[in-house]
Structures are given as C-alpha cells and as structure tokens.
C-alpha cells in the first residue's frame, strides 16, 4: 500500500476507536495511531518514513527484509509496549501499526503476521498503486468524511 492509503485507513480507524477507548489525550492518541501506521515500512528504503531517517533503513536492510519482522504481530506488540512505557498509551500506536499490517495483507504481496515463526503469507487482491488501491483510498476518504460529519 502507498503511504497515503495507510494514513487514510489508520485515520479512519482512529476516528472509530477514539471514543470507544475513552482516551484522555485525543491528540496524542491520533499522533500515535498515525505514527504506528507509518513505522512498519521503516525497513524499506523507499518509504516516506525512511526518507526522514535515511540511515536507519540502510542499517536495517542489512539485517531484515521488507515485510518481514516489521510486518509481524510480534513487532507490533513489542514496539507498542515500548511506546506505552514512555507515553502511557498502548492502544493508539498498536491500532495504527495493526492498521498498516491489515492494509498490507490486502495486497497481492501480503504479509506473514506470525513472522519469524511462520512465513505463511496472508494475501489479498489489491495491487499497490493501481486502480484497486486508488478506489480503496477514496473509500477510506469517504469513510473519514462520513464519520466526521455523522458520527463525531
């Protein structure tokens, strides 16, 4: 998935969860969700987040492959716990991270949720950057607008 699709999907999900979880600091919650939705691509040299910290993905790519450990549920939980230790918020970052994993699982490349214990990939039908993803992105935008107008 493209950066914009990940951001739109995580923003929509965060709007749906923000009141259910009764978060005290809604701005911090939203920031953590959006950050969580970007972080799994830190292992890709071509991602938006990698462009902001160029040395880190170069180092990581020596040890991990894209859509490997950073696209697993285990990394999502581990980093969410570390974020919790610093912020007191566990769910915001985890929701963002998981939204990224779910979105990538809908692509033809898929992801291995249980990596490194299982390399079996969950794959979808979306081809990154093509019309199916563009339609999905527009659907997320429509969902965001609807949620902002009618639900919040």
Report d(CA 79, CA 87) in Å as an integer.
12
Report the domain count for the chain. 1
- For residue 62, the model assigns a pLDDT of 85
Report d(CA 14, CA 32) in Å as an integer.
10
Cβ partners under 8 Å of residue 5, min gap 6: 103, 133, 136, 137, 140
Burial of 3 (0-12, 13-18, 19+ CB in 10 A): middle
pLDDT tens for each residue of the chain, 152 residues long? 999 999 999 999 999 998 888 788 899 999 999 999 999 999 888 888 888 888 888 898 889 988 999 999 999 999 999 999 998 889 999 999 999 999 999 999 999 999 999 999 999 999 999 999 999 999 999 999 999 999 87
- For residue 151, the model assigns a pLDDT of 86
Peptide bond into 91 cis (omega under 30): no
Closest CA to 142 of 29, 32, 9: 9
Full domain range(s) for residue 125: 3-151
């Amino acid at each position: 998935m493209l950066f914009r699709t990940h951001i739109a999907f995580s923003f929509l999900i965060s709007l749906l969860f923000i009141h259910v979880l009764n978060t005290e600091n809604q701005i911090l919650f939203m920031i953590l969700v959006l950050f969580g939705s970007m972080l799994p691509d830190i292992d890709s040299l071509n991602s938006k987040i990698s462009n902001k910290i160029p040395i880190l993905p170069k180092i990581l790519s020596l040890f991990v492959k894209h859509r490997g450990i950073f696209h697993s549920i285990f990394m999502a939980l581990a980093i969410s716990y570390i974020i919790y230790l610093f912020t007191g918020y566990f769910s915001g970052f985890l929701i963002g991270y998981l939204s990224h994993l779910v979105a990538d699982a809908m692509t033809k490349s898929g992801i291995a949720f249980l990596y490194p214990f299982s390399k079996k990939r969950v794959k979808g039908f979306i081809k990154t950057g093509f019309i199916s993803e563009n339609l999905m992105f527009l659907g997320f935008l429509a969902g965001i607008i609807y949620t902002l107008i009618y639900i919040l």
